[in-house]
Amino acid sequence: MKLRRAIPKTLNDISVEDYLYIKNIMNVYKEDDNEILKQMTKYYFEESSIKESSQIISTILDIFTTEPRFIQRFEYRDVEYGFIPNLEEITTAEYIDIDDYQKDENAIAEMMAILYRPIEVKDKKGNYKLKQYKGTTYEEIELMKKVSVEIYLGAMVFFWELNNDLLVGVDIYTKKDKKK
């Protein structure tokens, strides 16, 4: 067996770029398991037996069933990145760009370049300030394609859970208001 790229063992081992490639294969060939196996094998292996490639591809696809962790800060290429520390204080530009990018399921790196930016200042209590947002650059987007997709997926789970909490809060509030 000769590999083209390292075989991931956890969600953290899969880059945004690899995730987008795999997701595209799954969408294009969703009705054709043989073609999915063929395309994934080409992506990961220079040569392999059918047994080796099918077992490993199955293991890779199983990785996506694990729940991602929310990663607030991470280091990449000697730069520490942080998640927007206070969502109530995001700028209009950040909000508009997040809203635009979330409509495109392939704009993961673009979304990450907004949500995670270099930390400029941090204190001993763990508080930090991010680099000011001035739009996303090609370099930032390309960099975010190389980081772990678990960072993105964890952030999306965070937003999903936040949305659910807000819906429960609104429901409780409206029922309380009706009792008056």
Per-residue model confidence as pLDDT tens digits over 142-180: 999 999 999 999 998 876 654 554 445 545 555 655 555
Distance CA(93)–CA(133), nearest Å, equals 8
Query: CA separation (Å) from 116 to 84, 162, 173?
Result: 6, 18, 33
Helix (H/G/I), strand (E/B), else coil: 106: coil
- pLDDT in the model for residue 81: 97
Query: What's this model's pTM, rounded to 2 decimal places?
Result: 0.82
- Averaged pLDDT in 10-residue chunks for the chain of 180 residues: 90 95 92 90 89 89 91 96 92 91 93 96 93 95 97 83 50 56
- pLDDT in the model for residue 176: 59
Helix (H/G/I), strand (E/B), else coil: 30: coil
Helix (H/G/I), strand (E/B), else coil: 149: helix
Query: CA separation (Å) from 41 to 8, 115, 147?
Result: 14, 33, 22
Residue pointed to by tokens 């209009």? 92
